[in-house]
Amino acid sequence: MGNLVAIVGRPNVGKSTLFNRLTKTRQAIVSNEAGTTRDRQYGKCEWNGKEFSVVDTGGWVVNSDDVFEEEIRKQVIIATEEADLVLFLCDISNGVTGWDMDVAQILRRAKLPVILVANKADDGRDLYDQYDFYKLGLGDPYPISAATGSGTGDLLDKVLEMLPEKGNDDAEDGIPRFAVVGRPNAGKSSLINAFIGEERHIVTDIAGTTRDSIYTRYDKFGFDFYLVDTAGIRRKNKVTEDLEFYSVMRSIRSIENSDVCILMIDATRGIEAQDMNIFQLIQKNNKSLVVVVNKWDLVEDKSQVVIDTFTNAIRQRMAPFVDFPIIFASALTKQRIFKVLETAKQVYLNRKARIGTTKLNEVMLPLIEAFPPPSVKGKFIKIKYVSQVPDTQIPTFVFYANLPQYVKEPYKRFLENKIRENWTLTGSPINVFIRQK
């Protein structure tokens, strides 16, 4: 299972720049406006064949001066509780500030590896300034320049060396893992309790390798799966205000450890920005999805019109991925709880679906002939053959064409939609690749 690395530090020390450098993206558009989407603070980093997740805590700070440092301090505490390793970023040109001393104190108390990173070492002279950072009591500082990338290789070597070895999960393979995720108060714990109910003794708890994902084996009524239960664990010191950052950190854990995510949305509040953040985490990790609109018992008007409006609103927000089931349920009255399990199981099976090559070509080639990819610069693109790649995480289809580089995103989406129309892959993401024949 993946490790989680958190980047912490004062504003403007270059957290986003380092995040972009590690995840090889330019996503973290550095913007301090509250309400800009925050899903871009999470990404994957690969180094020497190992992969780990990176979270840039800077993106979650509420932008107001009086609570600024207090907010960041809270996030440092959350990060130390949820991550496997912390990168503490300081600015070499500013030297050590009083605030850095405070954070260092929190980090020294935390029982997890910390790497002190002295950023903005763009100039040979700066290297002398790194010795100032020894007084933080966090070991050797790593001088880097996130902007130019110098020193980041050594830093990554050190990260891999200090990350705890993750063994394979205790949860056996071949048994699906369902994670219940959603905003705080969407009803995750109630749903898990409704599943497991009074018959808790049928349930076996396996503590996952990650800090807090507990796998609960659910083996009755013809179901057999693990619930990746993160809702039931409360952290030690209650950081009450910063729920959003906390719930994202917590969701990353459970989403990465699951096959199918059951995303809970509160019927009384509709779909909110934070639901979208969690949805984007599910998509980034290529997980299957079931959306549960919970607290349906509290909605007065349950007419079909209301259901349709709600359904359309959810699909519009989550487009272009719209092929997933939506269930209106109530964890409290246990209305349609069983349906949630059946659907999650079906979605898991869809994820494992195999489509024979002959059948694929029989259906898809005539469709492609009727709607060929638009020609580019007078060149005609011909797709000759399609097959499904065996043994992939999610259904993956390869179309072989003479000019694969000219097949653009909209056409790939067309192909994906046609596959979905002809085979049941509801809830599961699909990969479509165009290759040289």
Most confident of the following: 17-26, 273-282, 381-390: 381-390
- Render pLDDT for 73-102 as a digit per residue (tens, 0 to 9): 777 887 887 788 999 988 888 888 888 888
Q: Over 50: is that where the pLDDT of 42 sits?
A: yes
Q: What is the pLDDT of residue 415?
A: 93
The pLDDT score that the predictor gives to residue 62 is 52
Residue 315 has pLDDT above 70, yes or no: yes
Edge-to-edge strands, sheet with 383-388: 383-388, 396-401, 431-436
Q: What is the pLDDT of residue 14?
A: 83
How far apart, in whole angstroms, are the C-alpha atoms of residue 270 and residue 121?
47
Res 294 pLDDT > 80: yes
The pLDDT tens digits of the residues spanning 328-361 come to 998 888 888 889 889 999 999 998 889 999 999 9
Indicate the burial class of 29 (C-beta count within 10 angstroms; 0-12, 13-18, 19 or more).
Answer: exposed
Using CA atoms, how far apart are residues 381 and 392, in angstroms rounded to an integer?
Answer: 27
| Model pLDDT, residue 124 | 64
164 pLDDT band (50/70/90 cuts)? confident
β-sheet bridge partners, residue 289: 261
Length of the chain, please? 437
Structure tokens at 188: 């995750």
pTM to 2 decimal places: 0.75
pLDDT at 420: 93
335 CB neighbour count, 10 Å cutoff: 15
Poorest-pLDDT segment among 160-174, 208-222, 279-293, 378-392: 208-222
pLDDT for residue 210: 37
pLDDT value at 134 more than 60:
yes
Provide CB contacts within 8 A for 222, sequence distance 6+. none
Please give the residue that has the higher pLDDT: either 88 or 197: 88
pLDDT reported for residue 214: 63
pLDDT in tens, 363-415: 999 999 999 888 888 888 898 999 999 888 889 999 999 988 888 889 999 99
Q: Look at residue 363 in the predicted model and tell me its pLDDT.
A: 92
Query: In this structure, how many other beta carbons lie within 10 angstroms of the beta carbon of residue 110?
Result: 15
By the 8 A CB rule, do 185 and 227 touch? Answer: no
